[in-house]
Structure formats: structure tokens, C-alpha cells
């Protein structure tokens, strides 16, 4: 544990791009979108070895920089059940999302991970739950949609997906305690190495990116696609379609 003075310095900055300032700003924005109501959801940002995490059980639109937890990633040991913090705010509890955030940072080299309780994400998992005819119930798939272009092709691969590509987001089952989701999230990462998100049945979604900008962009793009998918289902429009190409691909 860092000294009291040095610990406080970890979250004190006038720079709006500092993680301790960005997390409250992002969570307030997510609250307006209905993603983190009732203290649910959260966000974490990695800055070199330091990981900044929103606390548990706090109204996300009211979070301040002094509410943020900070830990050293190098100081943690998998499976991250016993964690040490460089800074722990008084009167708060560490987020149970923490080991899932750390999985994104270590397994995907992400710079930011966002967890939402978006209604559209939950509804998509319910629609998939109704389809028990095959593996399709455990993965969300959609193609031929412009917003798919907001996603990269995967870890270590150049460029983004194209309009005609198929976006696949795996679904894992919910658990009574959130940190127990970690091994299932990691298994989904292994099975779908190019994914930037994992849905949690009847719960929400985890989305990560190389940095805050990419994680936020992908989270917004996913929510748009989830809402679109729910409305498409109402109209009997399939999520996977055959659309003819009307122009050549460009490098």
C-alpha cells in the first residue's frame, strides 16, 4: 500500500484525460444512456502498469475522482481473487467487476474496459436464450450493417471489420456473484479470439478496446446494433442476411 499522500496523488490531476477524471465523466455519460442505473455497471482504465477502477455500490453519475480505486497490474496474481490496492477510497467497496477488467487488460492488452447493464444487451441475450436449437444461442451474430465497421478485426490484426463482415459476440451465463464470471469470460475470449466484447445472459455486456476512445466507440456501436437486432426480431427480419456486393473492396 502506498503512503497516504502518494496514494492521493494517484487520483489528483487537473488533466481531464487523466483516468481518475475520465472514469467519472464516462460513468456520468453512461448513466444518461441508461447503461449504469442503480449503481450497476462500471469502467476501468489502464495507464501503463496502473489500473483505475470505479467503485462498487456507488451511483455512477455521482462518482468523483476521489472514489476511484487504483492498483498495480504487475502486483496481482491470477485468478485475481486476492487483490492489493495502491489506493482504496474510504467507505467504498472494490468492484466485483475487477477480475473481469483485469482479464481484458492481460489477455487482450486492452487500455479500457466498460461494463454496462444496457437493456438492449440483456434483451439480445433473452432472444438468444429462446433459441435452443444450436450453438446460435451462445453467440450473437449480425452482418451487412454499417455500424459493424466500428470494430477491429481482432488482437494483432490490422484494420476494421467491413460492412459485409459478420460480427460475433459470445454469450456466457450469469452467476450469483459477478467475480465468478471471470473464468467463463476468459473461456469465451479463448473461443472467440477476435471479439472485443462478451455478453452476460440476463445481465449486460463487457466491452474493451485498445484505449478509452476505442472502447467507448465499440460500446456505443454495440448498443446500437443490439437495439437494431431487437427491433429486427419484432419485424421478423433475420440478423444474418445475404446482401449482394455492389462495389469492390478497397485496401
Per the annotation, binding residues for substrate are 97
Sheet holding 139-143, edge to edge: 69-72, 50-53, 42-47, 112-116, 204-209, 197-200, 166-172, 139-143
Beta strand pairing status for 166-172 and 197-200? parallel
Q: What residues are designated binding site?
A: 97, 115, 117, 203
Give, in degrees to the nearest 5, the angle at Cα 139 between 136 and 145. 100
- 169 with 218: CB under 8 angstroms? no
Residues tagged in the binding site annotation for Zn(2+):
115, 117, 203
For residue 23, give the nearest of 71, 63, 51 by alpha carbon: 63
- Decide if 192 contacts 115 (C-beta within 8 A): no
Q: Quote the strand ranges of the chain, DSSP E.
A: 42-47, 50-53, 69-72, 112-116, 139-143, 166-172, 197-200, 204-209
183 given a catalytic annotation = no
Residue keyed to cell 460513468: 27
Give me the catalytic one of 8, 129, 141, 146.
146
Judging by DSSP bridges, how do beta strands 69-72 and 204-209 pair with one another? unpaired
What span, in angstroms and rounded, lies between the C-alpha atoms of 127 and 193?
A: 24
For the chain, how far is it from start to end, CA to CA, in angstroms? 50
185/136 Cα distance (integer angstroms): 17
The catalytic site residues sit at: 146
Amino acid at each position: 500500500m502506498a503512503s497516504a499522500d502518494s496514494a492521493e496523488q494517484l487520483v489528483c490531476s487537473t488533466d481531464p484525460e487523466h483516468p481518475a477524471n475520465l472514469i467519472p465523466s464516462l460513468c456520468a455519460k453512461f448513466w444518461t444512456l441508461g447503461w449504469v442505473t442503480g449503481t450497476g455497471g462500471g469502467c476501468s482504465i489502464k495507464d501503463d502498469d496502473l489500473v483505475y477502477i470505479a467503485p462498487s455500490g456507488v451511483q455512477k453519475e455521482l462518482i468523483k475522482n476521489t472514489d476511484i480505486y487504483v492498483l498495480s497490474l504487475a502486483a496481482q496474481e491470477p485468478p485475481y481473487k486476492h487483490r492489493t490496492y495502491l489506493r482504496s477510497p474510504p467507505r467504498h467497496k472494490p468492484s466485483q467487476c475487477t477480475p473481469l477488467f483485469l482479464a481484458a487488460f492481460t489477455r487482450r492488452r486492452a487500455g479500457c474496459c466498460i461494463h454496462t447493464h444496457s437493456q438492449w444487451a440483456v434483451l439480445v441475450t433473452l432472444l438468444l436464450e429462446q433459441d435452443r436449437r444450436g450453438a446460435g444461442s451462445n453467440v450473437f451474430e449480425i452482418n451487412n450493417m454499417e455500424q459493424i465497421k466500428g470494430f477491429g478485426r481482432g488482437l494483432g490484426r490490422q484494420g476494421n471489420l467491413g460492412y459485409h463482415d459478420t460480427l460475433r459476440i459470445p454469450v456466457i451465463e450469469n452467476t450469483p456473484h459477478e467475480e465468478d464470471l471471470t473464468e467463463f469470460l476468459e473461456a469465451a475470449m479463448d473461443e472467440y479470439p477476435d471479439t472485443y466484447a462478451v455478453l452476460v445472459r440476463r445481465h449486460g455486456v463487457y466491452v474493451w478496446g485498445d484505449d478509452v476512445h476505442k472502447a467507448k466507440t465499440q460500446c456505443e456501436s454495440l448498443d446500437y446494433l443490439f437495439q437494431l437486432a431487437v427491433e429486427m426480431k419484432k419485424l421478423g427480419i433475420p440478423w444474418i442476411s445475404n446482401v449482394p456486393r455492389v462495389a469492390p473492396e478497397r485496401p
